[in-house]
Structure 1
Amino acid sequence: MRQWSLLARMRLSVADLLVGLLSVHGPPIGSRQCAAWLLLVGFMLDLADGAVARQLNVCSALGAKLDDFADFTSFGLATALLLHTSSPLDALLVIVYILAVFTRLCFYSSGIPFMYRGLPCPYASAILACASLLAGSNKVVLRSIAIIMALFMIDQGVYPHDKILESQLWKKMVFAGGVVMMFCSFSPLACLYYLVWSMSYILFPEALWSFKL
């Protein structure tokens, strides 16, 4: 039974990884918008993955490594490529953003129960993906947000574990709303939904998103 539970958790991590790889490679129609939406799908998968691992009690070392690899691919490499153009400045920003994600994943364990140190990279990715969808070709906005998100990720600020599917009912409803919004892809309203959700985690981490039953 435990093996089946571990397999279920690994499938979510692998799905997150595949979404990131597809975003890196480029969707079939070659649209940056599709790449951004794939990152939002990865954001939802990452939240579900953590909840499944804890509920099935399959938080293994292998699962944690696979989850980190999927996070680095989706929320590091794939997200940074939203910034990529022929400009040397953007190429440098891509490298800086990837290094910020790498630093956040490798070195920022908090030592505090139920807390992260540094902004979790899925939220930074979701905000950057929403900015890409809403701002379109406005490179100044996209670059500015990427720099801000990189600074948040390497900052020593403390953020609560986002056990959204294991907490109050309204948080589960927020997740359910995110699932519904997946069917409204390319809608500005859906982008705003994910943007407000992610920004609220940064602006009101303890007041809204601390783990409560």
Structure 2
Amino acid sequence: MFLLTPSSGFLKCTNKLFLSETAQWIQLKEFARKNAANTLSIANMVMGMASILSSLNGHHYAACWLVLIGYLLDFADGAVARQLNACSALGAKLDDFADFTTFGIATSLLLRTPDLLDNILCMCYVLSVFVRLCFFSSGIPFMYRGLPCIYSSAILACLSLLTGGNMAVLRITAVAMIIFMVSQNFYPHDRVLESQAWKKVVYAGGIVMVFCSSIPHVCVYYLLWSVSYLLFPTTLWSCKV
């Protein structure tokens, strides 16, 4: 027969408390693992909403800059989800909503003027992004149909910054991007952060440029990045993990 002494009771309480804290810590880590990518998608959506508000308030440079930050976040969310084995239907929906907000609505507002034709062009751009997001599946692994809207947005944002919002340049570019997005051409799923080391260097350079460099240098960098995918999708950007 064992007697319960004050010291043994204290040890039991301590053990229960320790086990409870350990279980909570494990649950917290699991929650963070499952939602890390979702957090990046939400951050991308927030960048898009902030860009929309900036455009509506006439802050042209801020609107473009926020689109480029969303560009970086969009590359990261899928890579994080796959790395942490946290892919889910909710994550896919969040990613699509974020892409539509940042690369659809926010980018289209870079084309907005009081002119009726420009407003129609904005709507056409949004619709082309919608079509692109809904029907991008090609049936071929790691391949898309139509230019991913992230690249068309980066091209428009960079040209808008470089030209000071020159509408003639933006109109021509937007029409070209719409054609590329709704085309049936094949484009590879590049998976920049899960592929060759040089692609990871390009991505790291994009982070450094957008936060530490001047507007012309940033725009040239992102233009070269996006246009290289547009012109040489398979040669340069096919997924080789």
SS at match of 2:153: helix
Contact 1:2/1:58 (CA < 8 Å) preserved in 2?
no
Cα offset for 1:5? Answer: 1.4
Deviation at 1:184, TM superposition (A): 3.5
Deviation at 1:100, TM superposition (A): 0.2
**Counterpart of 1:145?**
173
Indicate yes or no: 2:225 matched with 1:197: yes
Aligned counterparts of 2:37 and 2:211: Cα–Cα separation in 1: 24
For 2:60, the equivalent position in structure 1 comes to 32
In 2: Cα distance, 1:109 partner to 1:211 partner: 16
Other-structure match for 2:150: 122
The residue that corresponds to 2:82 in the other structure is: 54
Deviation string, structure 1 residues 26-53 (Cα, Å, up to 9, x no partner): 1798420110010000000000111101
| Kept after mapping to 1: 8 A contact 2:161/2:215 | no
Q: TM-score, normalised by structure 1?
A: 0.96
1:4-15 matches, cutoff 5 A: 4-15=32-43
AA at the equivalent of 1:109: S
Query: What is the Cα deviation at residue 109 of structure 1?
Result: 1.0
Question: C-alpha distance in 1, partners of 2:213/2:127?
Answer: 30
Identity of aligned residues (%): 60
Contact 1:184 1:190 in 2 (8 A): no
- In 2, Cα distance between equivalents of 1:163 and 1:75: 18
Instruction: State the 1:181 CA deviation.
Output: 0.5
Distance in 2 between residues matched to 1:156 and 1:203, nearest whole Å: 15
Segments of 4+ in structure 1 off by > 4 A? 27-30
Contact 1:37 1:185 (8 Å CA) reproduced = no
Moved more, 90-99 or 108-117: 108-117
- The alpha-carbon distance between structure 1 residues 29 and 105, as it changes in their structure 2 partners (threshold 3 A), is closer
Distance 1:125 1:192 in 2: 14
Count of residues in Structure 1 that have an aligned counterpart in Structure 2: 213
Root-mean-square deviation (Å): 1.5
Give me the whole-angstrom Cα distance separating, in 2, the residues matched to 1:40 and 1:186.
14
Aligned partner of 1:188 among 216, 221, 241: 216
Secondary structure of the 2:139 match is coil
Counterpart contact for 1:20–1:73, Cα < 8 Å: yes
> 1:212: which partner in 2?
240
Which one of 172, 179, 190 corresponds to residue 200 of structure 2?
A: 172
The residue aligned with 2:14 is none
Which structure is richer in relative contact order (CA contacts within 8 A, separation 6 or more)?
1
Q: Deviations over 1:92-129 (max 9, x none)?
A: 00000000000000122111001111111111100010
Tell which deviates more after alignment, 170-179 or 186-195: 186-195
Structure 1 stretch 26-35 or stretch 118-127: which is displaced more? Answer: 26-35
Tell me how far apart the structure 2 counterparts of residues 158 and 204 of structure 1 sit (CA, whole Å): 11
Does structure 2 conserve the Cα–Cα contact (< 8 Å) formed by 1:20 and 1:38? yes
The match for 2:183 is: 155
Distance 1:74 1:185, change over 3 A: farther
Unaligned runs of 5+ in 1: none
TM-score (norm: length of structure 2): 0.85
CA distance in 1, matches of 2:156, 2:55: 18
